[in-house]
Amino acid sequence: MDRVLMLSPWSFDKYLLVLHKLGVGEVVNQLKFNRVSFWVQIHGLPIMSQTKDVGLRIGETLGRVEKVDVDDKGFCLGNYLWIRVLVDISTPLCRGRLVRMGGPLPTWVDFKYERLPIFCYWCGLVDHDEKDCMQWMRSKESLRAEDKQYGPWLRAVPDRVQRPQMVVASKKEC
């Protein structure tokens, strides 16, 4: 059971399946199945900002951070920072954030969700797809495809073994 929960999210017929391990004193009919753990890739961070602290701070804007994938020194030298976050799925998925990295201007970082099931490209909710969206129905199908705020680009390609980015500096001859 713990292995199944740890490898979540799960889907059935490409739709999200929300699982919950009952705790002591919990009553089934009082549970809200509105939180799911996702591995989220944070793209666009400067390489030296891919740290545990930054992962925690950005991740807390998405939900409860369960893990930040960094080395023993607290760094990640891959293409992105990888965090596991308990996300509230009753709200639209977050596409990214403007974050301050110490410079004069904030930097936009993109979020990509691993094992993301079917979700709505109109409103960003994971409990339906675009043909069942109330926003789409209320518009009497007048919305155009270019009005979609979400898309398949929000799905991450799982890459369990990130290759570190290498920076090679050439030696300048005098």
What per-residue confidence (pLDDT) applies to 158?
67
pTM: 0.81
Q: Which residues of 38-53 are buried (b: 16+ CB within 10 A; e: fewer)?
A: bbbbbeebeeebbbbe
What per-residue confidence (pLDDT) applies to 92?
95
Cβ of 26: how many Cβ atoms within 10 Å?
10
Q: Is residue 120 situated within a structural domain?
A: yes
Q: Is residue 171 situated within a structural domain?
A: no
Q: Is residue 148 situated within a structural domain?
A: yes
Domain ranges, residue 38: 2-24+31-156
Encode pLDDT of 144-158 as tens digits. Answer: 777 788 999 999 986
Q: How many domains does the chain have?
A: 1
What per-residue confidence (pLDDT) applies to 101?
80
Weakly modelled stretches of the chain, pLDDT under 70: 158-174
Q: Is residue 172 situated within a structural domain?
A: no
Eight-state DSSP code of residue 28: G
